Amino acid sequence: MNKIIKNTLILTTITLVAGILLGLVYEVTKAPIAAAQEKAKQEAFKLALPDAASFEAYSGYDESDAAEVLRNAGYPDADITEVVIGKDGNGNDLGCVITVVSHEGYSGDITMSVGLLADGTVKGVEMLSISETAGLGMKAAEPDFRGQFQDKQVSKFSYTKSGEQGDDKIDALSGATITTNAVTNAVNSALAYFQNMLGGSVNE
């Protein structure tokens, strides 16, 4: 019995020490990890809206309002998680960057930043997180695919497998229709939010 109690005390002590050490490691690394994540996000904002000199959080953003907009627009499988206003060098509103999480990816969520000018022109689509199939869905992160959205001013996009032409047409990735659909719907979600919550303009 004494041996059992002794072993139990040893295991309890080891568990407590390990827990304390893990807690200390988390506290030490928490700030650097957060700083790295914020830096990556700011870099994505800049790539999505390259003409902006700075970015400010959009004060009108509300998670529940965003969810309602997307449901009404037919995109219930996406979330708007952040909206920032891009400013030019003089502090004037230039456009916005909308961060979207799509839950329609083949291998999980796809998170991206969509940059829009004040007139609704898409200036860039940057991936923040994507883990689709290598050589297939992962091609959605490549410039050739993302570039199809760039400098287009349309109310929404749709993808095509037949090479159909038009500013609103996106060539589907071969063998990755699910990923193509997820990314296209995510960009459309950003457009729907822009049109409904920002009135089609970032100028207040």
pTM: 0.81
Q: What residues contact residue 204 under an 8 Å CB cut-off, 6+ apart? A: 93
Domain that holds residue 117: 48-198
**Most confidently modeled of 14-23, 43-52, 149-158, 194-203?**
149-158
The torsion region of residue 107 among left (phi > 0), alpha (psi -120 to 50) and beta comes to alpha
Q: What residues contact residue 58 under an 8 Å CB cut-off, 6+ apart? A: 83, 84, 85, 96, 198
Give the count of beta carbons closer than 10 Å to the beta carbon of residue 82.
Answer: 17
Domain-located, residue 30? no
Domain-located, residue 20? no
The better pLDDT of the pair 188, 39 is held by: 188
Domain-located, residue 29? no
Backbone angles phi, psi at 166, to 5 degrees: 145, 150
Domain-located, residue 100? yes
Domain-located, residue 6? no
Question: In 3D, which of 124, 129, 126 has the Cα closest to residue 149?
Answer: 124
Q: What is the number of alpha carbons within 13 Å of residue 65 lying toward its C-beta?
A: 11
Strand 169-171 to strand 122-129: parallel, antiparallel, or no bridges (unpaired)?
Answer: unpaired
Provide the number of structural domains found in the chain.
1
N-term to C-term CA, the chain: 75
Query: Confidence band (pLDDT; 50, 70, 90) for 204?
Result: very low
Domain-located, residue 40? no
Domain-located, residue 15? no
pLDDT digits (tens, 9 = 90+) for 58-94: 999 999 999 999 999 999 999 999 999 999 999 999 9
Domain-located, residue 129? yes
pLDDT digits (tens, 9 = 90+) for 14-54: 887 777 877 776 667 667 776 777 777 888 899 999 999 99
